[in-house]
């Protein structure tokens, strides 16, 4: 009999600091992605209840959670990840594609300033951590639906880091954080430190992912369809959509501790766990 007790790597949780926004004004009143249908009823109180469960999960994990006040008339402000991108206390602001969300950019930049961050006003269209994911010293940057490729160049100048462009091709996975999950940004090269959905990318992007992350977790279409990849990890605990069962199985096999939460009401707006979570890296 083969001993598999030590097969999974030992994972280490590290404290995270995040920014969130209560969905007090969440509603689907327009359509800017395939998930949204204004004809379907939206239960704002249920969205708040589900969001509070995510909030408590982060507190239980020892995260430092900051809150930005929601603004009436900005129903998508709950998706805090799109509000900017923060490394080394520098906050690169968001400039949204659609007019419905454009006021969110200045609102988040105001919060960054008030809380001591060095704010860089964007010159190019970008939707923050929705399309920018830090993995080690490298920034994976999505394009194709929301963030413009010239924002990737701006990002590289601001942070002085390598930026790797990945083109998204499936409109249901319109932000990079719906198609890639960062499992351990500090993992050594060659370790399985991301998960992704192959069909969300063009052949060029897929080749880049395969070369850089040969042992990545590959998530199936069913789990991706409930935004299972839209997850948040501290290096050991991975908060995911509770319905992403095969992804949960794979995470356990890799030595992670998956924690399922139900954000089904917020899924009606096209967002999940990661969409509600903006990491603040001082």
Tens of pLDDT, residue by residue over 94-146, are 999 999 999 999 999 999 999 999 999 999 999 999 999 999 889 999 999 99
Q: Residue 135 pairs with which residues in a beta bridge?
A: 138
Q: What is the C-alpha separation between 235 and 191, in angstroms, rounded?
A: 12
CA dist., res. 46 & res. 28, Å (int):
13
Give the confidence band of 212 by pLDDT, cuts at 50, 70, 90: very high
pLDDT confidence of residue 8: 74
Residue 175 lies in a domain: yes
Of the residues 21, 152, 275, 276, only one is catalytic, namely 275
Question: What are the pLDDT digits (tens) for 175-193?
Answer: 999 999 999 877 665 565 8
Measured CA to CA, the distance from residue 96 to residue 105 in angstroms comes to 7
**Residue 12 is assigned to a structural domain of this protein:** no
Q: How far apart are CA 82 and CA 76, in angstroms?
A: 9
Among 131, 126, 71, residue whose Cα is nearest residue 103: 71
- pLDDT grade, residue 5 (50/70/90)? very low
With respect to residue 73, please indicate whether it lies within any of the assigned structural domains.
Answer: yes
pLDDT at position 1: 42
Structure tokens at 70: 């929601």
The verdict on residue 1 lying in a domain is no
Is residue 241 scored above 50 in pLDDT? Answer: yes
74-83: pLDDT as tens digits: 999 999 999 9
Q: pTM (2 decimals)?
A: 0.95
Q: What per-residue confidence (pLDDT) applies to 186? A: 75
Q: What is the per-residue pLDDT across 13-27, written as a single tens digit (0 to 9) for each?
A: 999 999 999 999 999
**Residue 210 reports pLDDT greater than 50:** yes
Instruction: Report the distance separating Cα 98 and Cα 105, nearest Å.
Output: 11
CATH of the domain at 103: 3.75.10.10
- Check pLDDT > 70 for residue 2: no
Any idea which residue has 């939707």 for tokens? 127
Domain contains 161: yes
275 in catalytic set: yes
- Residue corresponding to tokens 């991706």: 224
CA distance 135 to 184: 8
Instruction: Give the structural domain span for 43.
Output: 17-279
Active site residue 175: yes
Per-chain mean pLDDT for the chain: 95
Q: Which of 21, 66, 152, 175 is catalytic?
A: 175
Residue 205 lies in a domain: yes
Whole-angstrom CA distances from 6 to 10, 170, 189, 236 are 9, 38, 20, 16
Residue indicated by tokens 């001993």: 3
Does a structural domain hold residue 275? yes
Which residues does residue 86 pair with via DSSP β-bridges, in sequence order?
A: 91
Choose among 105, 88, 106: nearest CA to 97.
105
Residue range 139-164, pLDDT digits in tens: 999 999 999 999 999 999 999 999 99
pLDDT at 3 over 70: no
Total domain count, the chain = 1
Within a domain: 10: no
Task: Considering only the C-alpha atoms of the chain, give the largest distance between any 2 of them, rounded to a whole number of Å.
Answer: 62
């Amino acid at each position: 009999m083969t001993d598999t007790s030590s097969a999974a790597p030992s994972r280490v949780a590290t404290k995270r600091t995040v920014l969130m926004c209560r969905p007090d004004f969440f509603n689907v009143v327009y359509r800017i992605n395939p998930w949204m249908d204004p004809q379907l009823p939206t239960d704002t109180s249920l969205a708040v209840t589900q969001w509070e469960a995510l909030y408590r999960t982060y507190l239980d994990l020892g995260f430092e959670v900051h809150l930005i006040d929601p603004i009436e008339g900005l129903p998508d402000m709950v998706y805090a990840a799109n509000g900017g991108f923060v490394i080394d206390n520098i906050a690169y602001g968001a400039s949204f594609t659609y007019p419905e969300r454009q006021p969110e950019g200045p609102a988040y930049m105001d919060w960054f300033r008030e809380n001591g961050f060095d704010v860089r006003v964007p010159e190019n269209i970008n939707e923050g951590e929705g399309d920018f994911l830090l993995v080690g010293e490298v920034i994976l940057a999505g394009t194709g639906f929301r963030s413009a490729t010239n924002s990737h160049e701006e990002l590289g100048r601001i942070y002085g880091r390598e930026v790797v462009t990945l083109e998204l091709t499936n409109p249901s996975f319109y932000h990079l954080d719906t198609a890639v999950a960062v499992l351990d940004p500090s993992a050594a090269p060659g370790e399985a430190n991301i998960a992704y959905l192959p069909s969300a990318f063009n052949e060029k992007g897929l080749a880049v992912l395969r070369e850089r992350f040969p042992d990545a977790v590959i998530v199936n279409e069913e789990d991706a369809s409930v935004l299972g990849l839209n997850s948040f990890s501290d290096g050991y605990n991975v908060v995911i959509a509770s319905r992403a069962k095969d992804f949960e199985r794979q995470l356990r096999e890799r030595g992670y501790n998956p924690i399922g939460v139900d954000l089904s009401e917020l899924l009606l707006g096209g967002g999940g766990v990661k969409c509600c979570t903006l990491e603040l890296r001082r």
